[in-house]
Amino acid sequence: MNYQWYPGHMTKAKRMMQENIKLIDLLIELVDARIPLASRNPDIDVLGQGKSRIVLLNKSDLADPSWNRQWMNYFQAKGIHVLEINAKTGLGIKAIHNLVREACAEKLERDRKRGIVNRPVRAMVVGIPNVGKSTFINAFAGKACTKTGNKPGVTKGKQWIRLDKTLELLDTPGILWPRFEDQRTGMLLAFIGSINDEIVVKEELACDLLECLRTIAPASVEGRYGIVWKETSAEMLEEIARCRGCIQKGDVLDLKKAADLFTDDFRSGRLGRITLERVEQENEG
């Protein structure tokens, strides 16, 4: 299948981000731990020039723990401050405060030398749709935080959440639309549901995902459905349809239903914790 996607609202979202970026010191970039590179938008490097940066591997509960560690090492080796988190349960969130201090050490030192004290670091959360930005802001800011409201000299309508006296968060996350030039990245984004499902053929998506899991996690698929690998992924999808009773009128297999069920099993972690992007592959590519 040809994975292409050009959402029309991309330019507007980018303009909004450019406006907001002027107001902040720190970018907190959320990526999906199952595809830590494919879920980054390359524009972020340009947008974030001159800003302190943190990468959070979110949905780490859905990714393989040993690959989470390897991806942490990968980002650290590039000098990027990184943590693995689960925004849904709050796991790893507490450690972010220390990471913010590390990432912003230079800025804090500059402020100190200029005699500026008690000026909080201002941060914005960015990431592609569905990566967990809103869930993260809720978990990080929590109920205890108060919105600081509009400030003089700051673009009207911007809401800041004061986490403590050292850190403020812009409460609207920056949405970066996925931008990809290669088909593989598009395919990975479609697997996790970050590309509109309406533009993909679900049966083909399921077959591509099966092909990918055949090498990465063969036992997870066999174990989940109690079946063994067939020669082709199309036959495998038929097998899943049979064992899950996806049958239409006239005893015909309902492959669309089987594809939806299988894709959903993967996305929600019912096939186990699976990382689709591997560090070595990325270094080679």
The reply to whether 134 sits near ligand G4P by the rule CB under 6 A is yes
> Integer distance in angstroms from the first to the last C-alpha of the chain?
21
Tokens of 18: 């450019």
Among 74, 119, 130, 172, binds ligand G4P (CB under 6 A): 130
The reply to whether 256 sits near ligand G4P by the rule CB under 6 A is no
The reply to whether 148 sits near ligand G4P by the rule CB under 6 A is no
Read off the DSSP letter of residue 57.
Answer: E
CB of 114 to ligand G4P, least distance (A): 36
Name the residue nearer to ligand G4P (CB basis): 134 or 166. Answer: 134
Tokens of 104: 């912003």
Tokens of 198: 């309406």
CB of 138 to ligand G4P, least distance (A): 8
Q: What is the CA angle 195-22-28, rounded to 5?
A: 50
Among 68, 86, 194, 275, binds ligand G4P (CB under 6 A): 86
CB of 152 to ligand G4P, least distance (A): 29
> What is the contact mask toward ligand G4P in residues 45 to 74, using x (rule: CB under 6 A)?
-------------xx-xx------------
Can you tell me whether residue 130 is helix, strand or coil? coil
Q: Within 10 A of 241 (CB to CB), how many other CB atoms are there?
A: 23
Can you tell me whether residue 135 is helix, strand or coil? helix
Q: How far is CA 92 from CA 27, 56, 87, in A?
A: 18, 10, 8
The reply to whether 7 sits near ligand G4P by the rule CB under 6 A is no
Part of the chain binding ligand G4P (CB under 6 A), chosen from 132-140, 180-188, 210-218, 220-228: 132-140
